[in-house]
Homo-oligomer: A and B are copies of this chain.
Amino acid sequence: MKTWQQGLLSAAALSLVLVGCSDKGSRDDLDYSQLTIPADELVRNEDLAYQLAESLVTKVGPRMPGTDGDHRSVEWAVKKFERLGYDRVWTEEFPMTHWERKSASFHVLPPFNQSLHMKSLGHSISAPEGGIRARVVEFASIEALEAADPAQVEGRIVFINRAMERHPRGATYGPAVRGRSLGAVEAAKKGAVAVVIRSIGTSINQVAHTGMMRYEDGVTKIPAAALSIPDANQLSRMLARQPELIVDFDLQNISHGEVMSRNVIAEMRGTEAPEEIVLIGAHLDSWDTSHGAQDDAAGVGIVMATGALLRDRGQTRRTVRVVLFGAEEIGLVGARAYTDRHMDDMHNHVFASESDFGSGRVFSFDTNWGENALSFADEIQQRLSALGISRGHNNSGGGPDITFMQQAGVPVARLQQDGTYYFDVHHTPNDVFETINKDDLRQNVRAWLILTEMLANSDVDLRQ
């Protein structure tokens, strides 16, 4: 088992270790062991979140759970929290499964003779040695697959070609994800040899969308991947001309078994009720194929900046705790570990919320609070409305990583961001720093400052 300590080497030592492992000839005039990255100059203003996101994306880049990038992101976060003057900074370790993407190919044989853009879904097994040669059967949705005669599916590659519409709240994502999560199981039950889905997303760029899939005990495991949206259309157009076309499909991935990752936690201690915790969070990890700027460097920047800028305005009554969750992408692993570890202290978590929907402007303040607390929500809303934010519903989640805390009774809210274009880049290589709009991010920070400050200075019990 690879231990976390291997990831805690200093940047310089890490550099030595990795360079030492390289099998490339080095040039004599290159003294790479002396390289260090100078400190970022952080300016404490409303663009602090933007600076933090830029720093994370640039210095660390992709940070797939279990990789060197994951470990360096933890190191980065600890240093940044310390430099921002948080009262206390620590990490909490948890175990997780480290899966690594190797290669994917989807080649339509002659007469088309074309390779399409495909990526493995997260945690898919590899194809059998030598790959798979098979015909394809297309379904408009996983529901259509579920309704299909197994004779149509037997021995084929199932192709689930379900399009996703844009939605400001991303409400169309969940239903689309059903095919990604369950496609391999439903296809295998009917004898399919593999499953490919149309990428979940809303852009026509030639990139495949990744994300987690799962298997079920007792059902044969088959490889699962996603085609880019244009190439899903391309395949569909080919099938319209030639339903019996044949494909060479291959997928290679490695499961490294259990390794350790970490949540990074920092606090600004409260004055009168330091044991009461107003928790604001984001997730530090990203998919391997992406810089994870929208998902979720933007959120990391927002909540780290919020805690720091809040302290500049004076110490709050309650403690403000910022949690950067690890291993969100592969199944909320860090979030579960955090909740489990702090279960005895959940009653002191007076509030929890996460920023994990990119850098889009906040347009709705959604809560999930007790009746008696709703007048306090209205007070907060009065200040938020200057930022163009409307009062939303009182049936909210708090964000993916807040799920388990909410289940444990912690009151949550969401500063709902506009996600109309979020799924153009989400979980793809196009999730880059340039997609972050500085002005939109500033509006987010202002909203989080209002919400967090009012909660941290109040004694209202949101449960009631």
Contacts and interface: CB of A to CB of B under 8 A. Distances in A.
Interface of A: 11-12, 14-15, 18-19, 22, 24-27, 29-30, 32, 35-38, 40, 54, 57-59, 61-62, 68-69, 72, 109-114, 117, 130-131, 133-135, 155, 204-207, 229-230, 233-234, 237-238, 241-242, 244-246, 248, 291, 428-430, 432-435
Contacts of A30: 133-135, 246
22 contacts: A14-B110, A14-B111, A14-B113, A18-B109, A19-B109, A19-B110, A26-B133, A27-B133, A30-B133, A35-B111, A35-B246, A37-B111, A37-B112, A58-B234, A61-B112, A62-B114, A204-B432, A205-B207, A206-B428, A230-B432, A234-B432, A234-B433
A25 B131 CA distance: 8
Which residue of A113, A229, A237 has the most chain B CB atoms within 10 A of its CB atom? A113
Contacts of A244: 35
Given A18-B113, A26-B133, A109-B18, A207 B204 contact: no
Contacts of A234: 57-58, 61, 291, 432-433
This chain's copy number in the assembly? 2
B38 A241 contact: yes
Given A58-B238, A134-B30, A246-B32, A15 B111 contact: yes
A88 B456 CA distance: 81
Contacts of A32: 109, 246
Which residue of A135, A205, A428 has the most chain B CB atoms within 10 A of its CB atom? A205
Given A27-B133, A27-B134, A59-B112, 17 more contacts: A12-B111, A24-B248, A25-B130, A30-B134, A32-B246, A37-B111, A37-B242, A59-B111, A61-B113, A72-B111, A204-B430, A206-B207, A206-B430, A230-B434, A234-B291, A234-B432, A234-B433
Given A32-B246, A113-B68, A206 B429 contact: yes
A75 to B, nearest CB: 10
Contacts of A432: 204, 206, 230, 234
A147 to B, nearest CB: 24
B114 A61 contact: yes
Nearest to A289: B206
A37 B12 CA distance: 58
Nearest to A111: B11
A233 B434 contact: yes
A109 B26 CA distance: 12
